[in-house]
Amino acid sequence: MNQTTRTRSTQEWQRADAAHFLHPFTDFQSLARKGSRIITRAEGIYLHDSEGHKILDAMSGLWCVNVGYGRQELVEAATRQLRELPFYNAFFQTATPPAIELAELLAEVTPPQFKHVFFSGSGSEGNDTVVRMVRRYWDLLGQPQRHVIISRKNAYHGSTMAGASLGGMGGMHAQGGLPIPGIVHMEQPYWHELGRGLSRDDFGRVAAGWLEAKILEVGADQVAAFIGEPVQGAGGVIVPPDTYWPEIQRICDKYGILLVSDEVICGFGRTGQWFGCERFGTRPDLMTFAKGVTSGYIPLGGVMVGDRVANVLIERGGEFNHGYTYSGHPVACAVALANIRLIQREGLVERVRDDTGPYLAECFDALRDHPLVGEVQTCGLMGALLLVKDKASGAPFPEALELGMVCRSHCFGNGLVMRAVGDRMIIAPPLVMTRAQIDEMLVLIRRALDRTLADAQRNGWL
Ligand SMILES: Cc1ncc(COP(=O)(O)O)c(C=O)c1O
């Protein structure tokens, strides 16, 4: 524990927090009333708060702590680099060894079309780079009218002006005059809401067909790119049918538009493959990453640039007027190198693919017998449980009840971090999680579901 943590009580932390800290995605007044939970340290898959509670972190921080907390290699890599060269930029024809080595290693672990990377400081910035790069690409090819990027409703691509515009969250668009021009949205591949009555496979093809419809609506010669998360994370861990992505690829190829895979959550092993595009069988031209690249130990993001785009930027380009102070930050890159080597050495991707991913799927399947659980989905080490009022019809609870939040409170009260997206209860635990820890998590999840059910029965919501 560091010194400051020892010297203040929870109440003192909460008072100072409410007085000065505007938290992201937070109702400030409500947080000030309730007081934050103060997380003071972590080890493995467990967090510890200022009240001495131990909490199983089934969200990997914020979908990022893939290798778990307390990994000394990462700490040492950062410390060594801080001592040697804490910062130098990559502008003006300079580079640092960690940035070069990380670029080399990323080219090795990503699909073969990726030999180049553009670094950013976060996933949102990475997606800003995507918008700039996609438009630059078509400009260089003499087709500047191709500027429209198609995304999906309920997508999450970050919170900067471009990231939030690419995202399909109505609440975000409502604040700040978004989306920016040239970004349009189509429906998401959410079978439970949009595909009931069709088989999942048929629905996957129908949902991908909405891309073709949107291309024709916009005008095929205006469309620059399509962007999507292989599995929509923040939207509620919506795993598309297996038929969806191959059809999206076919349509992108047919119209010659760029395919962008936002791998900020799905990258670095989350789906049981290094990248989600490999799990779903696409060949993206650009791939955004962040989070798992450093397991969240230090901020880093970027865009993998496929040969199709890289060759144009390099051969025809001239100067690309874009970049960030922290593009290729040497300390962040040193941590990423240690993190990726650790993932390789411990075989974490293979472990998720062959062992813990299938085991999680089995355990989540067993929750189908719970009276509140409608749909169940997993993909690698992420999963969702949809709470429904009526299992047979899939009818939801009234939104105003906020049943997901009720369930989430029971999780928190019970030593488990699980997130609620509406009534979808979602997890994305660290990839180091063992079978025994999955069992332990399932006990906590079932207990939270039972307590939520008891609330629903007591209040006559069922
Ligand atoms: C798919 C996806 N893209 C982009 C982002 C934005 O990343 P950041 O919060 O690092 O800016 C997120 C964050 O959750 C994400 O899930």
Question: 405-430: per-residue pLDDT in tens?
Answer: 999 999 999 999 999 999 999 999 99
Pocket mutation for ligand 1, best pick of 60, 124, 154, 237 (most atoms within 8 Å of C-beta): 124
Closest by alpha carbon to 461, among 402, 394, 373? 402
* Residue of minimum CA distance from atom 6 in ligand 1: 158
pLDDT of residue 374: 96
pLDDT of residue 120: 98
- Can you tell me which atom of ligand 1 is nearest the CA of 122? 10
Cα separation, 98 vs 85, in Å, equals 10
3-state helix, strand, coil in the chain (%, to 5): 45, 15, 35
- What six digits make up the tokens of 163? 């990231």
Closest by alpha carbon to 188, among 148, 252, 254, 239? 239
Helix (H) or strand (E) holding 170, with range, is helix 170-173
- Can you tell me which atom of ligand 1 is nearest the CA of 125? 11
Q: Could you tell me the domains of the chain?
A: 37-67+347-458 (3.90.1150.10), 72-345 (3.40.640.10)
pLDDT of residue 7: 80
Beta strands across the sheet bearing 424-427? 373-379, 382-387, 424-427, 419-421
What distance in angstroms lies between residue 47's CA and the mean position of ligand 1's atoms? 22
The arithmetic mean of pLDDT across residues 76-94, rounded, is 97
179 preceded by a cis bond (ω within 30 of 0)? yes
What distance in angstroms lies between residue 21's CA and the mean position of ligand 1's atoms? 21
* Residue of minimum CA distance from atom 3 in ligand 1: 157
Closest by alpha carbon to 430, among 62, 10, 28, 40? 62
pLDDT of residue 3: 52
Angle at 370 between CA 365 and CA 373, to 5 degrees: 75
* Residue of minimum CA distance from atom 5 in ligand 1: 158
Q: At a CB cut-off of 8 Å and minimum separation 6, what does 391 contact? A: 371, 373, 374
Dump strand ranges (E) for 232-389: 258-262, 286-289, 301-306, 373-379, 382-387
Q: What are the pocket residues of ligand 1 if the criterion is a CB atom closer than 6 Å to any ligand atom?
A: 122-124, 127, 156-158, 163, 229, 233-234, 262, 264-265, 290, 301
- What six digits make up the tokens of 339? 């993190």
What distance in angstroms lies between residue 9's CA and the mean position of ligand 1's atoms? 33
pLDDT digits (tens, 9 = 90+) for 352-368: 999 999 999 999 999 99
What distance in angstroms lies between residue 262's CA and the mean position of ligand 1's atoms? 9
Cα Rg for the chain, rounded, in angstroms?
22
Cα separation, 119 vs 303, in Å, equals 6
Mean per-residue pLDDT over the chain, rounded: 97
pTM of this prediction exceeds 0.85:
yes
Q: In the predicted model, is pLDDT for residue 5 greater than 80?
A: no
Do residues 324 and 121 touch, judged by C-beta distance below 8 A?
A: yes
- Can you tell me which atom of ligand 1 is nearest the CA of 233? 16
Cα separation, 379 vs 238, in Å, equals 9
- What six digits make up the tokens of 245? 């992505």
pLDDT digits (tens, 9 = 90+) for 250-275: 999 999 999 999 999 999 999 999 99
What distance in angstroms lies between residue 273's CA and the mean position of ligand 1's atoms? 19
Q: Strands 223-228, 148-152: parallel, antiparallel or unpaired by DSSP?
A: parallel
Residue whose tokens read 């067909």: 209
* Residue of minimum CA distance from atom 7 in ligand 1: 123
What distance in angstroms lies between residue 303's CA and the mean position of ligand 1's atoms? 13
Dump strand ranges (E) for 54-169: 54-57, 114-120, 148-152
Note the helical H segments in 289-402.
307-316, 330-345, 348-351, 357-365
**What length is written for the chain?**
462
- Can you tell me which atom of ligand 1 is nearest the CA of 301? 10
Residue whose tokens read 């996933």: 123
What distance in angstroms lies between residue 123's CA and the mean position of ligand 1's atoms? 5
Question: 51: helix, coil or strand?
Answer: coil
CA 232 to chain centre: 8
Pocket mutation for ligand 1, best pick of 25, 59, 156, 266 (most atoms within 8 Å of C-beta): 156
What distance in angstroms lies between residue 298's CA and the mean position of ligand 1's atoms? 14
Q: Confidence band (pLDDT; 50, 70, 90) for 2?
A: low
What distance in angstroms lies between residue 177's CA and the mean position of ligand 1's atoms? 20
Residue whose tokens read 């024809």: 93
Do residues 381 and 431 touch, judged by C-beta distance below 8 A?
A: yes
Cα separation, 31 vs 23, in Å, equals 9
Cα separation, 259 vs 309, in Å, equals 11
List own/partner pairs for 90-95 with CB under 8 A and 24 or more apart: 90/119, 90/323, 90/327, 90/328, 91/323, 95/328
pLDDT digits (tens, 9 = 90+) for 122-164: 999 999 999 999 999 999 999 999 999 999 999 999 999 999 9
- What six digits make up the tokens of 217? 């609506």
* Residue of minimum CA distance from atom 13 in ligand 1: 158
What distance in angstroms lies between residue 447's CA and the mean position of ligand 1's atoms? 30
